[in-house]
Amino acid sequence: MQATQTRYSSEEYLEREKTAEFRSEYRDGEIIPMTGGTANHNQIVNNFCVALMLALKSQPYRVYTIDLRLSIPEKNIYTYPDVMVIATPVIYAEGRRDTITNSQIIIEVLSRSTESYDRGQKFEYYRRVDSFREYILIDQYRYYVEQFSKTEDGKWWLSEYEGDGAILSLSSVEFQISLSDIYENLEFE
């Protein structure tokens, strides 16, 4: 991902996003175009999202994918997580209905071009969201998932899941999914 040379205010960014052909992230004055997803990336997002929506449908949560923006005011960041789980009520950024501020769970499908950012600086940004409790990283090239769960004392605990028989259990909502369900209908390279 290449950043633009010009610095923009967050208001300018939000205005540009209204008519942009492709989504971009905003990082403290820089607009960074988002790379396109692969078929595997989209299938994983769909598989995970459908399972989450069915499991949480009678609970006080909302599940959103790809096109809903997350605002992190403390870092002056706007980003588009692959999947977010939000405890109701949904809290929108001031004056917006396309940007939220209270994500509880964020799921990112890793790609070669964004993996380092998703694991590092982006995770650091996400940890500034007060309601954020769980971060799931899904490798799209093999059966492998990492789960970061926030403990009562504010530390982050890592659990790893590997192989199609492994079962991921979320810690902040009642939900389990097998890796075979996450990766259903995928064609690995």
The structure's pTM equals: 0.93
**Would you tell me how many other CB atoms lie within 10 Å of the CB of residue 73?**
13
- Specify the pLDDT at position 131: 97
- Supply angle C-alpha 134, 135, 139, rounded to 5: 145
Rounded distance between C-alpha atoms, residue 97 and residue 159, angstroms: 34
| pLDDT value of position 3 | 54
Distance, in Å, from the CA atom of 60 to the CA atom of 86, rounded to the nearest integer, reads: 9
Residue 65 predicted with pLDDT over 80: yes
Banded model confidence at residue 98, pLDDT cuts 50, 70, 90:
very high
d(CA 41, CA 10): 28
What pLDDT is attached to residue 66?
A: 78
- pLDDT of 5 > 80? The answer is no
Confidence of residue 4 (pLDDT cuts 50, 70, 90): very low
**Max Cα–Cα distance, the chain, nearest Å:** 48
pLDDT tens digit sequence for 12-25: 999 999 888 888 99
Q: How does the average pLDDT of the chain come out, rounded?
A: 93
3.40.50.1370, 3.40.50.150, 3.90.1570.10, 3.20.20.70: which CATH number matches 38-182? 3.90.1570.10
pLDDT band at 105 (very low <50, low <70, confident <90, very high): very high
**Predicted pLDDT of residue 2:** 56
Cα separation, 74 vs 93, in Å, equals 13
What's the whole-number mean pLDDT along residues 107-129? 95
Mean pLDDT computed over 159-182: 97
Per-residue tokens: 180: 């075979």
The tens digit of pLDDT for each residue in 8-58 reads: 999 999 999 988 888 899 999 999 998 777 899 999 999 999 999 999 999
Query: Is there a contact between 182 and 188 (Cβ–Cβ < 8 Å)?
Result: no
Residue 143 · residue 129 · CB < 8 Å: no
33: preceding bond cis by omega (within 30 degrees):
no
In this predicted model, which residue has the larger pLDDT, 173 or 5? 173
Question: CB neighbours of 32 closer than 8 A, spacing ≥ 6?
Answer: 1, 2, 3, 4, 24, 25, 26
Q: How far apart are CA 131 and CA 116, in angstroms?
A: 24
Cα 52 to the center of its chain, rounded Å: 14
Tens of pLDDT along 174-186? Answer: 999 999 999 999 9
